Copies of this chain bind each other. A is one copy, B any other.
Amino acid sequence: MSNFDLSVHFFMQMAAILAACRVVGLIARYLGQPQVVGEMIAGVVLGPSVLGAFWPDAMAWLFPRQLVVDGHVVMAGGKAVPHPLMTVIYCVAQVGLASYMFLVGVEFRADLIRKRVRSAVSVSMAGILVPFALGVLIAYFLQGNARIFKPDVKLWENMLFLGASMSITAFPMLARIIYERGLSGTSLGVLALGAGSTDDVAAWCVLAVVLASFKSDVEIAALAIGGGVVYAVLMLTLGRRLLAVALPRMEHTPLLKSFPVPVMLTLLMLASWFTDSIGIYAVFGAFILGAAVPRGEFAVQMQKKLEPAVVNLLLPLFFVYSGLNTKISLVNTPALWGIAALLFAAAVFGKGVACYAAARANGEPQREAVAIGALMNARGLMELIILNIGRDFGIITDELFSMMVIMAVVTTLMATPIFELVYGRERDAHLIASGRRLEA
């Protein structure tokens, strides 16, 4: 297989991936679900859970896992060399993910938190602490179960990871629903965006600490934590100010007019490389870089110019890479299904119910509190990211990975119907669909 032959097959894989995301996405949207639900499921459908279960030859042909030459699996250093196209899918998915998190950072509005500090802080604290505590507790009881955790990972590492992965919120989806319904200026909107974004930032910080703590070497852990803190602080102070001066100046210099987008993309690759290298993952660096972009017209332009290709061309590869590693048939004993149910219940109670209760305790009306609970409870893409990190780092087994993917998909599926139950179906479908609200 020359690189040319591989690229031909890659076009085929891309076509299959994009088509699956569209078809399943269409069904999801028809059922009133957001596109992201469709793409999460499309990834699972193309993987061993569906395509591989019903038509294993097709999956093996479309997504070969190992490099085979003349009928022999190519070995190196005692291990099978992964098929180069799996590397291609992985690398493109990582670039897509980093670009997406960058755009999430660009959309992030710190000012919304300030507006309703008290409720937002309570809801987000509840949404972090309760699921984190439940995750820690469950990890403690599951420790020693070889089908859940890798035997060479320590108890406290498992506790931290499961805790962090329970407290994730699908902030981009929450924000999209709020914007699409034209609720961003309302009491509910401000509270949801404020709590959701605080929560997301906090969860990513926890994850960064968790990842750093996995480094066996104290120096490496210090580099990760210290480097991450220094990176975030520098980027959000000096970096933000530099960008606020440099970007408008570029726009007003004829020679540099077209520079903002490519310069930001270059910085994005550098930030991703840097945060990956020090051990706190590219998504973190990309998000912080996005948050440092000056708000206003510039952020809107960035979004408009990059989002279509990132969301429609690159990001689907992440869903599929994740789906290729999701094998629901691994959850094959009553005990494992019991654990899956326990994780799911803890996730819903810890996040959805806790956020609802916190909102009520702060005097929010019933309707708002239920809506907040439903939105905060959705794990979406963000959960897939942390799960894949856990899998990449060799922390969790494929069984736990698959259970948590089920939890992520179901909590995401629940969000819109519950939200609609209290807030009603989209009333002005045409206006919303025309996208004008998104730009408002």
Most buried by B among A19, A22, A304, A312: A312
B3 touches A86 (CB 8 A): yes
Q: Is A328 an interface residue, CB under 8 A from the partner?
A: no
Mark A415-440 against chain B: 1 for CB-CB distance below 8 A, else 0.
Answer: 00000000000000110111100000
Contact of A435 (CB < 8 Å), options: B26, B30, B85, B257: B257
What is the CA–CA distance of A11 and B81 in the complex, to the nearest angstrom?
21
With a CB–CB cut-off of 8 A, which chain B residues contact A21?
A: 262
Chain B residue at minimum C-beta to C-beta distance from A389? B4
Contact, CB under 8 Å: B35 / A258: yes
Q: Quick check: B11 and A272 within 8 Å, CB to CB?
A: yes
A157 sits at the interface (CB 8 A): no
Which of B8, B81, B429, B435 interacts with A81 by CB under 8 Å?
Answer: B81
Q: Are B312 and A6 in contact (CB under 8 A)?
A: no
Per the 8 Å Cβ criterion, residues 258-283 of A in contact with B are 258-259, 261-263, 265-266, 269-270, 272-273, 276-277, 282
Pairwise interchain contact A6-B90, C-beta atoms closer than 8 A: yes
B interface footprint on A15-41 (CB within 8 Å = 1, 0 otherwise): 100110110001001100001000000
Any chain B CB within 8 A of the CB of A238? no
Please determine whether A254 and B433 come into contact, CB atoms closer than 8 angstroms: yes
Of the candidates A3, A29, A90, A256, the one having the most CB atoms from chain B within 10 angstroms of its own CB is: A3
Counting every copy of the chain, the complex holds: 2
Q: Is the CB of B266 within 8 A of A95?
A: no
Q: Mark contacts of A138-155 with chain B using CB atoms, 8 A cut-off: 1 yes-contact digit, 0 otherwise.
A: 000000000000000000
* Residues on B with beta carbons closer than 8 Å to the beta carbon of A129: none
Q: Out of B7, B72, B269, B430, which one reaches A15, CB within 8 Å?
A: B269
Instruction: Name A53-93 residues within 8 Å CB distance of B.
Output: 67, 69-70, 72, 74, 76-77, 81-82, 84-88, 90-92
In the bound complex, residues from chain B placing their C-beta under 8 Å from that of A90 are: 3-4, 6-7
Assess whether A262 is in contact with B18, with CB atoms less than 8 Å apart: yes
Q: Complex Cα distance A255/B30, Å? A: 7
The answer for the CA separation of A84 and B117 in the assembled complex, in Å, is: 49
Q: Which residue of B has the minimal Cβ distance to A308?
A: B305
**Cβ 8 A contact of A87, one of B72, B88, B95, B266:** B88
Other-chain residue from B26, B74, B262, B433 in contact with A76 (beta carbon distance below 8 A)? B74
Is B305 a contact of A3 with CB atoms below 8 Å? no
Determine whether A309 belongs to the interface, using a CB cutoff of 8 Å to chain B.
yes
Smallest CB-CB separation from A309: which chain B residue?
A: B309
- Give A259's nearest chain B residue, CB to CB: B22
- In the complex, whether A237 has a CB less than 8 A from a CB of chain B is no
A273 proximity list for chain B (CB < 8 A): 8, 11-12, 15
A90: nearest residue on chain B (CB-CB)?
Answer: B3
Other CB < 8 Å A-B pairs besides A304-B304, A306-B308, 15 of them? A11-B95, A11-B269, A11-B282, A14-B269, A15-B266, A15-B269, A15-B273, A18-B262, A18-B265, A30-B255, A74-B76, A254-B430, A255-B433, A257-B434, A306-B309
Interface positions of A (Cβ within 8 A of B):
2-4, 6-8, 10-12, 14-15, 18-19, 21-22, 26, 29-30, 35, 67, 69-70, 72, 74, 76-77, 81-82, 84-88, 90-92, 94-95, 98-99, 254-259, 261-263, 265-266, 269-270, 272-273, 276-277, 282, 304-306, 308-310, 312-313, 392, 429-430, 432-435
Q: Identify 15 residue pairs between A and B in the complex whose beta-carbon atoms are under 8 Å apart, listed by A's number.
A: A3-B82, A4-B90, A4-B392, A7-B276, A8-B276, A14-B269, A15-B269, A69-B77, A70-B76, A70-B77, A88-B92, A257-B434, A305-B308, A305-B309, A306-B308
